[in-house]
Amino acid sequence: MNDGSVISAAGRVGLEDHSMRRLHPLLQSQLRELRARVTGGRISALEMLEMLSRYYDSMDDERRAMVRSMQLMSDEARSLGVEIAEQGAAQLQVILDHIKDVVITANGEGIVDRANPQTQRVFGYPPAELLGARIDHLVPGIAVDGSIALGLEKLADSSDTFRGRRVSPEIMARRSDGTLFPAEISISRVKNGRSDVFVICLRDISERHAAQRELRDSEARYRTLVDNAPEAITVIDAVTKRFVEANEPALKLFKLTREQLLSRDLGGVSAELQSDGQPSMSPHRQQFELAAAGESQVFDWIHRDSTGRDIPCELHLVRLPGTRSPLVRASITDISERKRAEIIMENERAFFALLASNAGLPAVLDIVSALVQAVYPRARCTISVLAPDSSCFALTIARQLPPMLAAVIERTPIEPRRGSCAAAVYSACDVYCADVANDPHWADRRQVVLDAGFRAVWSMPIRGASGKLLGAVAIYRPDPGLPDSREQVLQAHATRLAGLAIERSLAEEALRTSEAKFRGLFESVIEGVYQSTRDGRLVSVNSAFVKMLGYSSAEELYALPSSVMIYWSATDRAEFVRKVDADGEVRGMEVVLRRRDGSTVVALENSRGVRDGGGRIVGYEGTLSDITERKRVEQAIYAEKDRAQVT
């Protein structure tokens, strides 16, 4: 058979003579496809070989494509693995580059093989410069018995958990300039293949140590500040009200030792009742609870020291931060002086109010006595006013003195043995009786003072502005002793107030006497006397003025719009004003006045201008003399002369 031959009928094997089931399904399909294409049902060997060749070619193409795909997939997988590894290493490097601690890896001999950039900041070495260096170059004392490896192992063991907590030993590290600094070190031993690698984490704690030193110094400064603060400072448990801590001023305020104060609660150093009348430890008081809740509290409080003396104070409560139990800091300020000043000011206001309202002298002096007793509640104050002839006391204000003693000192003669007030006026100086029981000034009246419960009496004379003696102020005390400087200042202040009140009373009495005398003279003169404003409104006239013009009362004249209405001619009033403005006064000016009934009165006016502080005329005052009868007689005489000359 050659390339162009065909299979003969005898030698050709027909498809029908072979079992199709013995062929591959793909080959069966290809033979059917080839048979369908040829004509006459005859298949040439060349066509069959070409068909098989094409099939093998497609098989080769598929195989090559598959191999290429597998190569691509392998390359992609390898590239992805490398990328993932590089990303992991990059991420780890980013973490190491940005972590604040120094991270160094060293081999088993302590040779640095890797370091993060923080070595530049902490040690002053760039990472590349440390590669190959020994770790003891950075941590001088790391070697144990001359072995760096042993030192690393020991630190690695000490960096493990201790009592359930991981600990980081503190060591001294060395910078590139040779300076040492404290550091925390943590070492972990890991396997890298068959060799050991030490991962060293180091943290510079210089700032922490500096902060701790600053904290200790600050605590010492705060303790010094608290101990030397002018106000008392205590720490109180807000629940139990017990003292937890106190500074020296607080101990001095309460007159207690530290142990004594810390064994007490707030009630142990407080008065039974506060200024609001409620018990000190009343459950209704919420200041400490509010302070423990974070609300600052400021309020007045009456403390009591170990001697029993009550001390007005101001408490400032502030919650202390960072404490498990609710502790509050109580700043205690002694406000005795402020309260004393407030009491004095309050009584001074009452004193001057009574003085301005022209109240009687006893009421005004009683306020002065109340002032002293308000400041010193256990004391009693008396004020004695000297009689005009200075032979005895004419008036004695004895506020809350026992009646027997008040009666004895009433109208006391001015003699040196009749008490300290009489002796003070007699000698014109302060008399302090430290103990009435043996003081000679109380020789005649000693027992009545002792029976009243007083042992000391201090007296000061009252002087006027001119130095004249006006009386005396006495302070009676239940305990013997002399006054301190504060008590002397208060008593001197009381004598000044009493002197002011007595002088004002004497001046008012003298003014009333003088006014009565001049009022009588004003009303008894026969001339009409007046005062008016510049616009002519009458403000004061005497009875002769009222009678001369025919009015029933002075009020009717005061009701007139202007004194121009009492002049017969307005030109007379204008001429009067012109002359006074020019000369300051008029003398013997004859004017014609209009009476209420319309009749005329001829008068001589003698008046002057009343000037203010700036020299401006603000009114007029003067007298009007009725010369109507005299003018009538003069006119009659002139008429008679005229008739005589005619005849």
Domain boundary among 66, 96, 126: 96
User: What's the pLDDT score for residue 16?
Assistant: 46
Average pLDDT, the chain: 84
* pLDDT exceeds 50 at position 17: no
pLDDT in tens, 39-52: 655 666 777 777 77
529 and 573 together in one domain? yes
397 and 499 within one domain: yes
Q: What percent of the chain has pLDDT over 90?
A: 38
369 lies in the same domain as 501: yes
580 part of a folded domain:
yes
Whether residue 60 is found in the same domain as residue 191: no
Q: Examine the domain organization and report whether 496 and 530 are in the same domain.
A: no
Summarised one tens digit per residue, pLDDT across range 339-369 is: 889 999 999 999 999 988 888 999 999 999 9
Backbone angles phi, psi at 374, to 5 degrees: -70, -35
What is the structure's pLDDT at 384?
A: 95
Residues 556, 594, single domain; the answer is yes
- Whole-angstrom Cα distance, residue 240 to residue 281? 11
pLDDT of residue 275: 84
**218 within a domain of the structure (yes/no):** no
Residue 312: partners with Cβ closer than 8 Å, 6 or more residues away: 275, 300, 302, 334, 335, 336, 338, 339
Q: What is the mean pLDDT of residues 577-587?
A: 91
Both 485 and 500 in one domain: the answer is yes
Q: Are residues 236 and 190 in the same domain?
A: no
Residues 6+ apart with CB under 8 A from 460: 424, 430, 472, 473, 474, 491, 492, 495
pTM across the whole model:
0.52
In a domain, 355, yes or no: no
Q: Decide if 416 contacts 394 (C-beta within 8 A).
A: no
Same domain as 53, residue 30: yes
pLDDT per position as a tens digit, 379-419: 999 999 999 899 999 999 998 899 999 998 988 999 999 99
Rounded-to-integer distance, Cα 266 and Cα 296, Å: 18
Rounded Cα–Cα distance for residues 339 and 17 (Å): 139
Answer with the one of 42, 67, 96 that is the final residue of a domain: 96
Domain match, 79 and 111 both: no
Q: What are the CA-CA distances from residue 12 to residues 7, 33, 173, 570, 639 (Å)?
A: 5, 19, 100, 177, 205
Any idea what the CATH number is for the domain that residue 628 is in? 3.30.450.20
Higher pLDDT, 515 or 198: 198
Rounded CA separation 619/187 (Å): 108
pLDDT value of position 442: 93
In a domain, residue 223? The reply is no
The CATH number assigned to the domain holding 475 equals 3.30.450.40
Residue 154 lies in a domain: yes
Q: How many independent structural domains does the chain possess?
A: 5
Say which residue, 14 or 525, is predicted with more confidence. 525
For residue 593, being part of any structural domain is answered with yes
Residue 519 falls inside a structural domain:
no
Last residue in a domain, options 39, 68, 96: 96
User: Structure tokens of 434?
Assistant: 């430290």
Q: Does 69 score more than 80 pLDDT?
A: no
Token output for 526: 């026969």
pLDDT tens digits for range 127-155: 889 899 998 889 998 888 888 888 888 88
Note whether 279 and 304 are same-domain residues.
Answer: yes
Same domain, 104 and 116: yes
- DSSP-based helix, strand, coil % in the chain, nearest 5: 45, 25, 30
Domain membership of residue 288 as a residue range = 232-334
Asked whether residue 515 is assigned to any structural domain, the reply reads no
